[in-house]
Amino acid sequence: MSLDFQLIKPVGQLKELERYPLYEPFAYATIVQDERTGGDIMYYLEEITLDPIEQQVYKELVRIVMLELPPPEELTKMGDVKNYLLNELKKIVGRYRRLFRNVPPSSFAKFLYYMERDLLGYGPIDALMRDENIEDISCDGVGRPIYVFHRRYESIPTNIVPMTDQALDDLVVKLIHMSGRHVSVATPIVDAQLPDGSRIAVTYRREVSPGGSTFTIRKFRKNPLTFTELVRFGNISAEIAGYFWVMLDNGRSFLVLGVTGAGKTSFLNAMATFIRPHMKIITVEEVPEINLPHKNWVRLVTRQSYGTEKINEITLFDLVKATLRMRPDYLIVGEIRGGEEAYVLFQAVNTGHSGISTMHAESFEAAVNRLMSPPMNIPPAYIPAMNIFVMIKRVKIGGKLTRRVTEVGEVYMDGDKIRFNTVFRWNPRTDTHDSFVEKSILVKQISDMTGKDVDEILREIDTRAKIVNWMLENGIFNFEDVSTYVQTYYTNPDKILNQVFGKVSEVESTT
Ligand SMILES: Nc1ncnc2c1ncn2[C@@H]1O[C@H](COP(=O)(O)OP(=O)(O)OP(=O)(O)O)[C@@H](O)[C@H]1O
Ligand SMILES: [Mg+2]
């Protein structure tokens, strides 16, 4: 199979922009720019190659290994698979010494690389899956280069090209099998989750995609992005984090907007860590992406039907409806797709639940229009219960591509019109977030409900922003650590306050 994916050699005058290892010393990524066209950037994967003799031996070796080793599903369940493989290979090599007469001992490491790649890994795209800089991998059909979405260069072609229908179909079947699902001519469209947590969507053969099988992978981040990282990257300000912390503490709802890949789910996830530790949270998703530190958390995931009649299918709508009987404090719907699930979510936030979700939209107005139009048909009076709308955009700053929360707005009704009270707005000239939080309607609302002064709540937002900044200065970025600080602040605020404002509180206590 591996040989049916070609690594095309780049031609022309190419300038190397950067080169980094993916799996030393076997696979490297080089980013090149075509100087003739003055711009075209390409991702060039260099993988160690097998010469024709080695290829023959490798094929034979795989055949033997397939006969002698447990199937890959079993293998991947074992702890140290790599070592196990290495040992087994040594045994096999010992037993089939004849086979290795024509290859030098150095070939052995290469065989092991390919074996790991093809039997345990993602085959021809395995090296791409190892690249932390890649967000998406997509294949548009046979004979066309696989594209990647690179953190620094956006969408660029690679030199990896599936050369035959068979090779591409095999890869798609392999990927879907690894996800524990099934794809066939009868059900040629499948969404699934790869073993590492990545999301994959495929179309099989030429059933619905005349150019051959396709796949799109949204790569999973091993460590979810945290709010301290978002502040460090400048995606949000510490004050925005402080604001969300107080809002979620008080059960407010929010909806994250942006285009595909803007970072909606990542933002949602980072903010959800602010929810009080013992709240009952239910997440409803098509593919499990959300990751929470909370113990009282029920994760629900939709089920696709296997037959053509869709009788066994369980949709977002079915699940969101079911959650209402499960009394969640927070209902998180991974993404509003524009069906009945949106209606039920808005019903939920209008009947005393708190809700969080994301939706594709280019602006607040576009989002409101979509929500109120068919098929969602949400009555305007329902919309303000989704208290906060957040807009995320990919922007270029100093030639570099990055993400910014460009606006945080509080929804309210003005007569029969939906309006937004901007509490934070990104300023592109200074690349900072302007704050209008003192005019927050929700702070006023929380004050009315809790009896706390508006000033006191604003001070609390400021205190929590300072805690976030302190965490930043102390290098607390990791998901578990960040969550522990938030949870400790809920259960034992003095401990955190002492840590962060130690000296201040000493001064206060002596005065
Ligand atoms: N602030 C960020 N900094 C760096 N990388 C980010 C950031 N936000 C998101 N990403 C990365 O960008 C990719 C897309 O992010 P995410 O899934 O959150 O986007 P999305 O808007 O929910 O996309 P979709 O519309 O497909 O659901 C992921 O690989 C994620 O790790
Ligand atoms: Mg998303």
Per-residue pLDDT reduced to its tens digit, 115-158: 889 888 999 999 999 999 999 999 999 999 999 999 889 899 99
Dist. CA 220 → ligand 1 center (Å): 10
Say yes or no to pLDDT of 487 above 90.
yes
CB of 262 closer than 6 A to ligand 1? yes
Mean of pLDDT over the chain: 91
**Rounded to an integer, what distance in angstroms lies between the CA atom of residue 430 and that of residue 500?**
28
Say yes or no to pLDDT of 506 above 70.
no
377 to each of 332, 338, 352, 413, 509, how far by Cα in Å? 20, 10, 20, 17, 56
**Rounded to an integer, what distance in angstroms lies between the CA atom of residue 279 and that of residue 408?**
24
353 to each of 282, 316, 349, 367, how far by Cα in Å? 11, 18, 5, 21
Indicate which residue's Cα is closest to atom 10 of ligand 1: 263
Which atom from ligand 1 is nearest to the alpha carbon of 135?
29
**Rounded to an integer, what distance in angstroms lies between the CA atom of residue 107 and that of residue 54?**
7
Cα angle, residue 291 at apex, residues 368 and 442 outer, rounded to 5°:
40
CB of 483 closer than 6 A to ligand 1? no
Which atom from ligand 1 is nearest to the alpha carbon of 219?
29
Q: Which of 108, 117, 141 is nearest to 45 (CA)?
A: 117
**Which stretches of 250-356 are DSSP H helices?**
264-272, 316-323, 340-349
pLDDT category, 71, cuts 50, 70, 90?
A: confident
Which atom from ligand 1 is nearest to the alpha carbon of 262?
21
- Identify any residues that bridge with 354 across adjacent strands, giving them in sequence order: 330
Dist. CA 264 → ligand 1 center (Å): 6
Dist. CA 218 → ligand 1 center (Å): 9
Tell me which of 216, 257, 264, 266 to substitute to probe ligand 1's pocket, judged by most ligand atoms within 8 Å of the beta carbon.
266
Instruction: Write the pLDDT tens digit of every residue in 253-267.
Output: 999 999 999 999 999
- Helix 52-68 with 107-115: angle, nearest 10 deg: 50
Same fold flag, 5-218 and 227-441: no
pLDDT category, 32, cuts 50, 70, 90?
A: very high
CB of 221 closer than 6 A to ligand 1? yes
Dist. CA 262 → ligand 1 center (Å): 6
CB of 260 closer than 6 A to ligand 1? yes
CB of 213 closer than 6 A to ligand 1? no
CB of 269 closer than 6 A to ligand 1? no
Dist. CA 126 → ligand 1 center (Å): 21
Domain at 5-218, CATH from 3.20.20.70, 3.30.450.380, 3.40.50.620, 3.40.640.10: 3.30.450.380
pLDDT category, 72, cuts 50, 70, 90?
A: low
Which atom from ligand 1 is nearest to the alpha carbon of 289?
17
Coil, strand or helix: which one is 176?
A: helix
Average pLDDT over residues 199-221: 95
Indicate which residue's Cα is closest to atom 8 of ligand 1: 263
CB of 197 closer than 6 A to ligand 1? no
Dist. CA 41 → ligand 2 center (Å): 26
Q: What is the pLDDT of residue 203?
A: 97
Q: What is the pLDDT of residue 135?
A: 92
Indicate which residue's Cα is closest to atom 28 of ligand 1: 135
Peptide bond into 25 cis (omega under 30): yes
CB of 251 closer than 6 A to ligand 1? no
Dist. CA 391 → ligand 1 center (Å): 13
pLDDT category, 208, cuts 50, 70, 90?
A: very high
CB of 224 closer than 6 A to ligand 1? no
Dist. CA 256 → ligand 1 center (Å): 12
- Ligand nearest 266 Cα, by number? 1
Indicate which residue's Cα is closest to atom 6 of ligand 1: 263
Tokens of 145: 């280069």
**Which fold would CATH assign to domain 227-441?**
Rossmann fold (3.40.50)
Coil, strand or helix: which one is 101?
A: coil
Instruction: Write the pLDDT tens digit of every residue in 330-389.
Output: 999 999 987 889 999 999 999 999 999 999 999 999 999 999 999 999 999 999 999 999
Q: What is the pLDDT of residue 156?
A: 95
For the chain, the structural domain boundaries read 5-218, 227-441
Average pLDDT over residues 184-209: 93
CB of 266 closer than 6 A to ligand 1? yes
Q: Which of 323, 227, 329, 221 is nearest to 273 (CA)?
A: 227
CB of 403 closer than 6 A to ligand 1? yes
Number of helices (H), then strands (E), belonging to the chain: the values are: 16, 20
CB of 261 closer than 6 A to ligand 1? yes
